[in-house]
Amino acid sequence: MIDDAERCYQAAKSKDARFDGVFVTGVLTTGIYCRPSCPARTPRRENVKFFATAAAAQQAGLRACLRCRPDATPGSPKWNLRADVVARAMRLIRDGVVDRDGVSGLSERLGYSERHLNRLLSAEVGAGPLALARAQRSQNARTLLETTDLPITQIAFAAGFDSVRQCNDTIRQAFARTPRELRQRSKVTRSSHDLAAHGIELRLPARRPFSAESVLAFLGERAIAGVEEFDGATFRRSVRLPRGQAIVELSPGTENDHGPAFVLARLYLSDLRDLTAAVARCRQLLDLDADPIAVFEALGDDPWIGPLVARDPGRRIAGAVDGFELSVRAIIGQQVSVAGARTVAARLVEAAGETLVEPRAGVTHLFPTADALAALVSENPAAFAMPASRRRALAALAGAILSGELVVDPGTDPIELRETLVSLPGIGPWTAEYVAMRALRDPDAFLASDLGIIRAAAALGLPNEPRILVRVAEAWRPWRSYVMAHLWALPNAFTPRRESKEMP
């Protein structure tokens, strides 16, 4: 259970969708748990308990409400706000680390014993790593049952279960239904089982307000030929996943005043077991777990930033599907225009990228691995035009990744990441801060020396000297990354001047 039960009850009583995914409401008289915005009549206070996660509610013997679907909500925004071990563990579990490597792999990645990690998670979120991963698997299985015609055998393994029996038992416990009953109950039009041709189509929920168009356009403007493409509505890109290749297609969901905001995702997976990781990385890429109301409440009264946030409260920070790729793009993007960075990155992909087995439209390659980049820089440095100092930085980055000195994934501590990056030759604070913001989802990163930010600040009448701007930006904590997203969106924040440090 969670501490502030009275506040939770008021949120549930007012059907406040902002808290969907932050906690669930357990109704003791019915034995179910719901999202705070569930349209059902609010139970009496003495008949409810509140849990930080669906896994905790399931461990208490409750089953998911089939009306409001409490599992199909945006994730809690606090896991991106925090950098402690519990938050990093939650991000890694969401990426499927427990399914792939077990609790031992998760604890090793975080540097804690299994027992201590279980104790930390149980104390804070009411469930240990196995229970959290099991709840995630049950949600994945339900989604596949309701949206595809895949046989239960394939669904069980795609969702992360070790056996069909384990899948059946977990679904019965979580939803009080058999897999067949869930499928028959669903009114959703199912995708064809020919996944190679049609993919898996999912709705990825987001908290309102949500400007899907702006974040997709941001990614589209920086699309690397061969790896990404954007047709003005759908953003498409390749993704290297733990067990295979994938192509993801992301487009805005149909907006209405009553239903939840969402992104329509179509996933083409070479291995269905990568479903959990693919969904997690799409959510990270589009910042779908953000709390835009909290950002507005913190920044809305600021005389400079408040009007920008009020004009576009749904703006998000584009993330990344792979930390190493984002780090390479940040180095390439130092002191060149967006167009220039795209050109260099495309040449890098052409020279060292892996060809997709099943390309789609203009997406033909995966971004190069650290091995491939290290070999290219050492054996054929003329493959792409770039200053020697930047090639050395790329070589140092690849070497740090290959040696294990540097890990850029959701479980990395942002402070340690910054320190390791700036210790590498050719990598300074701008690059480290940028990688922390997009690869680790740090909401409080700030690039005071970025020329796009300096130009936007000057246009607003803000001090544009970096040291002074840093002091002014203290008032925007812990949402400085979102301030930058709004500043970058201003006209003329970017210009095609070679010395500008623009977002790659």
Q: Would you please indicate which residues are annotated as catalytic (active-site) residues?
A: 34, 450
Judge residue 199's burial from the number of C-beta atoms within 10 Å of its C-beta, 0-12 exposed, 13-18 middle, 19 or more buried.
buried
Beta-bridged to residue 63, according to DSSP, are 32
Other CB atoms within 10 Å distance of the CB of residue 261 = 23
Cα 471 from Cα 330, distance rounded (Å): 25
* Token reading at 263: 């992104």
In which region does residue 426 sit, left (phi positive, over 0), alpha (psi from -120 to 50) or beta (all else)?
left
Cα 365 from Cα 373, distance rounded (Å): 14
Cα 434 from Cα 431, distance rounded (Å): 5
Alpha helix segments (H runs only) across 148-262: 152-158, 164-175, 179-185, 195-198, 212-221
Cα 487 from Cα 257, distance rounded (Å): 28
Query: Under a CB-based contact definition with an 8 Å cutoff, are residues 75 and 21 in contact?
Result: yes
User: Strand 32-34 vs strand 63-64: parallel, antiparallel, or unpaired?
Assistant: parallel
Cα 107 from Cα 124, distance rounded (Å): 16
Cα 276 from Cα 136, distance rounded (Å): 8
Residue type, 112: Y
Nearest to 334 by CA among 434, 422, 412: 434
In which region does residue 191 sit, left (phi positive, over 0), alpha (psi from -120 to 50) or beta (all else)?
beta
Cα 163 from Cα 167, distance rounded (Å): 6
Beta-bridged to residue 50, according to DSSP, are 25
Query: Under a CB-based contact definition with an 8 Å cutoff, are residues 275 and 140 in contact?
Result: yes
Residue type, 53: T
Cα 187 from Cα 183, distance rounded (Å): 9
Residue 148: DSSP 8-state: B
Query: Under a CB-based contact definition with an 8 Å cutoff, are residues 504 and 330 in contact?
Result: yes
In which region does residue 238 sit, left (phi positive, over 0), alpha (psi from -120 to 50) or beta (all else)?
beta
CA distances to 205, 282, 293, 409, 453 from 91, in Å:
17, 13, 22, 9, 29
Residue type, 494: F
Query: Under a CB-based contact definition with an 8 Å cutoff, are residues 83 and 91 in contact?
Result: no
Residue type, 452: G
